[in-house]
Amino acid sequence: MTSPEPPARILAVCTGNICRSPVVERVLAARLAGTDVQVTSAGTRAVVGHAVSAPMVPLLTDAGADAAGFAARQLTADLIREADLVIALTRAHRSQVVELVPGAVRRTFTLLEIARLVAHVDPQAVHDSGQTPGARLRALPGLAAAVRHVAGSGEDDVADPIGGSEAVYRASYDAMAPALRTLAQALRD
């Protein structure tokens, strides 16, 4: 008798792990609840143990996600190795991930990059790549890489709102929201 496959894992990475990557973690987790996908996050210079930055909490709540119980943690090579997809919030974060674990290069993207690429992947190809969101997630890096030449380049970095006004936090959140919708929809459909 075969045991079920473990959940597929997404790891979101930003600097302090208190603003941007918690949004990716908690919003994707809410949208993929009840599936075989697990979403976590970490920071390259984490404010270890801290909660989600206060101005980001109502934005998470409005998105149907929950900030309760969140505690920032430091990025480690083991977290990267365990992830099927690493979502960095900037190109610099992506570089730091690949420096720690060079083998992660093919499964590490910025959030805006993976959403841009997924928008060019045939939805049927994503659907046909697996019966569950977790199976589709495991196939997604290869499918995304295959359309890189078609998708072109664009803005890849989500600005860090730390220390900014509520409007700055809103702008950062608004930069992430469409990408998170695109990614969750691709995995669920």
E strand or H helix at 40: strand 37-43
**pLDDT of 1:** 53
For 64-186, strand residue ranges (E) read 85-88, 108-110
**pLDDT of 86:** 98
The segments of the chain whose pLDDT lies below 70 read 1-3
Q: Which amino acid is at 144?
A: A
**pLDDT of 97:** 98
CA–CA dist 109, 68 (Å, integer): 27
**DSSP-derived secondary structure letter, 74:** B
Widest CA span of the chain, in angstroms?
Answer: 55
Task: Give Cβ neighbours of residue 32 (< 8 Å, ≥ 6 apart).
Answer: 39, 133, 184, 187, 188
Q: Chain-centre distance of CA 157, in angstroms?
A: 13
E strand or H helix at 100: helix 91-100
Phi, psi of 47, rounded to the nearest 5 degrees: -90, 75
86-135 pLDDT per residue, tens: 999 999 999 999 999 999 999 999 999 999 999 999 999 999 999 999 99
CA–CA dist 73, 115 (Å, integer): 25
